[in-house]
Amino acid sequence: MMMDSSRAGGLTSCGQYVSRKINVVRWQPVTHPWAQLAHGDPDRGPSAKHFVSGSWDDDRNQLQWWDFRGSQPSAMDDSEDPPRSRSAHPPQSAHHSLQLAAQLDVCGDVQGIQFLSDDTLAAATSQGQVQVVQAKASNAGSGRVALESARHWSTVHGQRFGSPYGCMGLAVFEGLIATGGQNGSVAVLDVKSSTPVGKLDGVDSSSLTDILFIKQNSLLVSNVRGQMRLVDTRAPDIKSAVGTTYVFGEPIRINSIAQHASQPHIVCSGMENGSIAFWDLRGQPHPITILKGHENSSISEVIFHPQQPEHVLSCSQNGEVWHWNGTAASRPVLTQGTANNPGMDNKCLWFNNDALKHRVNTEALMQSQHLPINSLDASGPYVVVGGDSEAIYVMSNVIM
């Protein structure tokens, strides 16, 4: 794999100090009228202009709604290193800036944020609380919004000696919300119900770390021992609910799992040892391919790009943000297939070891930070990241 330090095309970045450690960032979906399109290229798809962040490790943590707009770039404190792209001094000609539009206090560290619709999101915390939050325009045309809690569930994973088990991941499917627990349980909530519609205790004997909806009644959960499990939420008991177990091979914590946008059986996982594993949920219970990186530092989050899944993005506890560009590796895969694995989906470049070995272009999107980067998200050509440096950065023209 190659590590590029520069690339023509003009990646730009802007940042904002927020005085809070950021644990989660998520772009707003782009179909809402006031989720104005930041880019209209049909090949890359539309891009959101608003995102939400969630903080952690504070006496009073918050969800914050941000506007990403074209204006003068934010002033950055010279005492901190600004983000650097593939060039030593990224151009700022785009004049993008960040502006805080609304905020809402929450109880505990924000552990997960997912949008249920354009203007409604779910958030989960380390205090075992899940709430549905609505963003409402405060003045027509002003761009200002207000965040309001529409529904709230407490101690969804139970408690021990009076202390609630925390939520360790969050997933949504239409009006359903699922969260994995610090105690190995899974809770399923419905936005229309004030009480959980499903609770599965004993899904795992260790703490869960992340959760995905594979389909409406099927969940994938990961744990601290390098395992993933399929969970059927319709099953009458826990024994029949827990299905196939997928094993990394070593007891290495899985911190993050992500799903391919158009092929839901394809999943990648970010590992504590800095590697990314790619799995076929229809096939063998072990990773098809493993890419190593981040100098053995724990990966905080990994995602497939939502519009172009031949691109993968990751961030780590050693302050790195990487772009794994599989465009070059995808070409032979689409024509050659995988003769040694006739049952494998031959259109997934991430399952072709030979193509990936030398043809995935890996590049740092910003200068390595001194503190962990905890979360990232992508929308069109834009990537937003946040971490313990108490700053949020948005990079433009990441996907050219």
CATH number at residue 316: 2.130.10.10
Return the bridge partners of 325, or none.
Answer: 311, 361
User: What's the domain count of the chain?
Assistant: 1
pLDDT computed for residue 47 by the predictor: 58
215 falls within a domain: yes
Residues 6+ positions from 153 with CB-CB distance below 8 Å = 129, 130, 131, 189, 194, 195, 196
Asked if residue 83 belongs to a domain, the reply is no
Asked whether residue 3 is domain-assigned, the answer is no
Q: Is 19 exposed, middle or buried (0-12, 13-18, 19+ CB in 10 A)?
A: exposed
pLDDT of 346 reads 53
**Digit-coded pLDDT (tens) for 132-157:** 999 998 776 666 789 999 999 999 99
Q: Report yes or no on 25 lying in a domain.
A: yes
Instruction: Give me the pLDDT at residue 7, please.
Output: 47
Q: Which helix (H) or strand (E) holds 392?
A: strand 391-396
Residue 260 lies in a domain: yes
DSSP assignment of 359-375, as one string?
Answer: H-EEEESSPPPSS-EEE
Please report whether residue 29 resides in a domain. Answer: yes
Q: Which residues have a Cβ under 8 Å from the Cβ of 144 and sit 6 or more positions away?
A: 101, 102, 137, 138
The verdict on residue 86 lying in a domain is no
**CA-to-CA dists, residue 133 to 20, 153, 334, 375, angstroms:** 20, 12, 42, 20
In a domain, residue 87? The reply is no
Q: Which sign does the torsion angle of CA 82, 384, 177, 148 carry?
A: positive
Task: Report pLDDT for 121.
Answer: 99
pLDDT, position 85: 43
Say what the alpha-carbon torsion angle 148, 233, 127, 207 is, to the nearest 10 degrees: -150
Each of the 400 residues of the chain gets a pLDDT tens digit; together they read 433 333 435 788 899 999 999 999 999 987 654 444 444 444 445 556 899 999 999 999 999 999 997 543 344 433 344 444 443 333 343 467 899 999 999 999 999 999 999 999 999 999 999 999 999 987 766 667 899 999 999 999 999 999 999 999 999 999 999 999 999 999 999 999 999 999 999 999 999 999 999 999 999 999 999 999 999 999 988 888 999 999 999 999 999 999 999 999 999 999 999 999 999 999 889 999 999 989 879 999 999 999 999 999 999 999 999 999 998 876 654 434 443 444 444 568 899 887 777 778 999 999 999 999 999 999 999 999 999 999 999 999 998 6
What whole-number distance in Å separates Cα of residue 256 and Cα of residue 60?
25
In the chain, what is the straight-line distance between the N-terminal and C-terminal CA atoms, in Å?
A: 20
Instruction: Show the domain range for 130.
Output: 9-77+96-396
Is residue 302 within 8 Å of 268, Cβ to Cβ? yes
